[in-house]
Amino acid sequence: MSSIESETVALSEMERLTAHLRTQIEQTKRGEGLEFEEDEEYVKLQTENTKLKHRLAILNKAIAAEQNAHGSTAVIKYQPVKLPSTVNEMISITEHLVDLFTNAIALAFPNLAGTQAIISPVNATAAKFGDYQCNSAMSLAKTLKAAGVNKSPRDIANEIVKNVAPSPLVAKTEVAGAGFINVFLKKDYAVHAIENILRNGVKPPACRKQRVLVDFSSPNIAKQMHVGHLRSTIIGESICRLLEFLGHDVLRINHLGDWGTQFGMLIAHLEDRFPNFLNESPPIGDLQAFYKESKKRFDEDEEFKKRAYNCVVLLQSGDANSTKAWTQICDVSRQEFQKIYERLDVTLKPVGESFYQSRMIEVVKFLASKNLLEEDDGRKIMWADETSSGIPLTIVKSDGGFTYDTSDMAAIRYRLEEEKAEWLIYVVDSGQSTHLQNIYRAAERAGIFNPKIHRADHVNFGVVLGEDGKKFKTRSGETVKLSDLLDEGLKRALDKLLEKERDKVLTPEELKAAQESVAYGCIKYADLSHNRTNEYVFSFDKMLEDRGNTAVYLLYAFTRICSISRNCGEDFSDLVKILDNRTKIELEHEKEWKLAKTLLKFPDVLVKISKDLLLHTLCEFCYEVATVFSEFYDNCYCIEKNKSGEIVKVNRGRILLCEATAAILKQCFFILGLKPVSKI
C-alpha cells in the first residue's frame, strides 16, 4: 500500500470511530436515568465514563498521529472527564466543567484539541443565564480565523454544545448572545451533594497530593517579633490548614533567625552580665533591652567588639560554653514566640538558620565544585543568572562568614534533597521578593531546583499601616509589641461584648470564650480578608464591626444558623438517621436553590486558592454564604409558629440545609483560624 493509501484507510477508520463514539454519546444521553439517588448509579456512570474516556483517548491519538503525518503543528492534549467518587471528595464544579468542555472543543474541532475551556460561574442575580458559563467560543473564533477558517462564535458555540458529553451535574446547556454557552446545574445533583455533606462531612476536592514545605512566621532571635511576622504567621498557618485539608503532606517550618554575627555581642554581654550562666539559667527578662545594651557596647567599646568577634568564631566552631550561652539566649526568645503561637493557635517546627551551619559549609563546596562562585573584592559571589545580571548572591563574606543568602541556599538544598519536598512556600513580606527569586534561580542554575518537578511560591504580603496611613507604630514611634497588641484585642473585644450586654446572658466562662474568639478571630480575619499583596490598615474599630465582611459578623451568623436546629423542638443530632427517615431536601424555593448552589462552590474556591494562594477569596466566600443564607432564612420558613408562639410545623428539609450551611462555614472557619463558640 502506498503511504497515501494507508492514510486514507486510517482516515476512514477514524471517521468510523468518531461516528461510533457520537452514537455512544447519544445513547448515553438518552439512556441516562441520572437521578443519582444512589451511589450505585454514580459507579455505573463512572464506569461508563471510563470506557468513553478510553475510546476518546484512542481516537485522539489517531487524530494526533494523522496530523503529525500531515505535518500539522497542533498538539493534542486530551483531558479526560473526571468524576471523583462523591463520598470522600466534593466535586469542584468548575474543574468538572472545564474538563467537560475541553473535551467538547476537542471533539468539535480536532485541530484545536487541547485548548482549555474557559468556565466562569454566573453571578447568582443573573440566574437566567445559567449557573456557569463557557466563554470559549469568542477566542476560538479568533484562532480559527487566524488559520483561515471563518466561523461565527455562535456557530462555534453550537458545535461545542453538540459535543458536550452527558454529565450528572448538568441539566442543560444553551447558546446565548454572541456565543456564550450557559450551563444549568441539575437539582438532583445538588441534592445528592448536599446530602453527602450531611452524611459524610465536608470533604475536599480531589487533587494530586504533594509534600509541601511552608516556611512561615520566621522571626529573629533577640529581636522583636513585629506585625510583619504576625502577618506571615497568620497567613502561613491558614495556608497550612488549607493544604492539610486538601490532603497534602505539610511541613510547617519556622526559619528562625538564630545565627549570625549578632550572637557574638550577645554572648559576650551575657558572660559579663550573668557570669554564672553556666550553672543557672540567666534571668534575662527583657531580651529587647538586653540586645540594645549589647549593641551599644559593641558600637562604643573596641575591646568588647574584639571579644564579640571572638565569640562568633568560638560559637561557629562548636565551643561548649559559647553554645550554652547561645542556647540560653535562644530559649528566652523562643519562649516569648511560643506564647504568641499558643494564643493564636499556631503550630510550627523550629528549624532555624543555625540548623544549616554544616550544610552551609557543604553548599559552598558544592557551588564551588560547579564553578558557580566568583571572587569579588575578597567575597565569593554567585550570579543567579548566567548573564550575570541583577544582584549577585553573597555566598561567603570577605571575613569568611556566611550570609542570609548562604543559609537560604543551604536551606533550599536541604528542603528539596533531604526533606524531599516537592513544593516550597515562603510566606515572607514583599520586600524580600528579589532575594527569594534570586534563591530559586540560583538553585535552578546549580541543579538543585527543577521547575519541572518542583514548585516554589513566594507568598508575599504588603506592610501593615496604622490608621494614620503610616507604618504601624506605637504612639511614641516604636514597634508595637505583639503581646501588647493581642492584649489590646482582648480588651476591645470584651468592651464590645459588654456594650451588647452579653454579660447578662452568658456565663463568665462563655463570656471569656466569646472574648477570645472575637479578639483573635478579628485580628486574623482582618489580615486574611484583604488581598495579601496590598498593604492594609490595622484598625480595631473596623475589624470589630458587626456588619459587613468581618469576623464578628460571621461568628454571629454562624451561631444563629446553629441555633435553628437546636430550637426547632426536634432532635437533629443524628443527621444520617434523619436522612434515612426519608427527610428530603427539596430546593424548590428559588432561595433554597440559590443557597445550595452557593454552598457547592466551596470546592471551586479551594482549588482556586491552591493555585494562587490568595486566602481573601475564602473570606469572600464565607461572607457570600452568610448573606445568601439570610436571604434564604428571610424568605423560607424553617419553623412555623402560631400566634402564641408554639411550633406548628418544622420543615426538616430546610433545617438540613441550615445544617449543611453550618458545616461548610465551620470548615472555612477552621482554615481561617476562627474559633466559633456556641454562644456569643
Residue placing its CB nearer to ligand ARG in the complex, 34 or 428: 428
| C-alpha to C-alpha distance for 402 and 396, rounded to whole angstroms | 5
CB 639 within 8 A of CB 568: yes
User: Which one, 217 or 294, has the nearer CB to ligand ARG?
Assistant: 217
Using CB under 6 A, which of the segments 139-147, 215-223, 281-289, 553-561 binds ligand ARG? 215-223
CB of 494 closer than 8 Å to CB of 501: no
Helix (H) or strand (E) holding 343: helix 320-344
* CB atoms closer than 10 angstroms to residue 120: 11
- Using CB under 6 A, which of the segments 158-166, 217-225, 326-334, 338-346 binds ligand ARG? 217-225
Residue 426 engages ligand ARG in binding (rule: CB under 6 A):
yes
Q: Does 117 bind ligand ARG (CB under 6 A)?
A: no
In whole angstroms, give the CA distance from residue 478 to residue 569: 56
**Helices (H) and strands (E) in the chain — how many of each?**
23, 16
Stretch that binds ligand ARG, among 211-219, 533-541, 649-657, 663-671 (CB under 6 A): 211-219
Task: Pick the closer one to ligand ARG by CB: 130 or 228.
Answer: 228
Question: Which three three-digit cell numbers place residue 642?
Answer: 402560631
Coil, helix or strand for 249? strand
Q: Which is nearer to ligand ARG, 436 or 618 (CB)?
A: 436
CA–CA separation, 524 and 280 (whole Å):
38
Euclidean distance between CA atoms 355 and 257, whole angstroms? 10
* Residue with smaller CB distance to ligand ARG, 115 or 220: 220
Is residue 458 a contact point for ligand ARG (CB under 6 A)? no
CB 180 within 8 A of CB 137: yes
CB of 290 to ligand ARG, least distance (A): 19
- Give the residue with the Cβ less far from ligand ARG, 215 or 457: 215
Applying the rule CB under 6 A, the residues between 246 and 275 that interact with ligand ARG are: 255, 257
- One-letter amino acid at 52 equals L
The kind and range of the H/E element at 436 are helix 433-445
Q: Does 215 bind ligand ARG (CB under 6 A)?
A: yes
Residue 428 in contact with ligand ARG, rule: CB under 6 A: yes
Which among 457, 616, 471 has a CA at the least distance from the CA of 535?
Answer: 471
Q: Does residue 220 interact with ligand ARG by CB under 6 A?
A: yes
With contact defined as beta carbons under 8 Å apart, do 280 and 228 qualify?
Answer: no
Exactly one of 136, 173, 218, 354 binds ligand ARG (CB under 6 A); that residue is 218
DSSP state of 403: -
Nearer to ligand ARG, 364 or 587 (CB): 364
Under the binding rule (CB under 6 A), the answer on residue 408 touching ligand ARG is yes
Q: Which residue lies nearer to ligand ARG by CB, 25 or 428?
A: 428
Query: Shortest distance, CB of residue 436 to ligand ARG, whole angstroms?
Result: 7
Residues 118/134, Cβ–Cβ less than 8 Å? yes
Minimum CB separation of residue 270 from ligand ARG in Å reads 22
* CB-nearer residue toward ligand ARG: 220 or 233: 220
Rounded least distance, CB 527 to ligand ARG, Å: 17
The residue range among 167-175, 216-224, 285-293, 572-580 that interacts with ligand ARG, by the rule CB under 6 A, is: 216-224
- CA dihedral (133, 104, 204, 562) in degrees, to 10, reads 40
**Which residues bind to ligand ARG, rule: CB under 6 A?**
215, 218-220, 255, 257, 408, 411, 426, 428
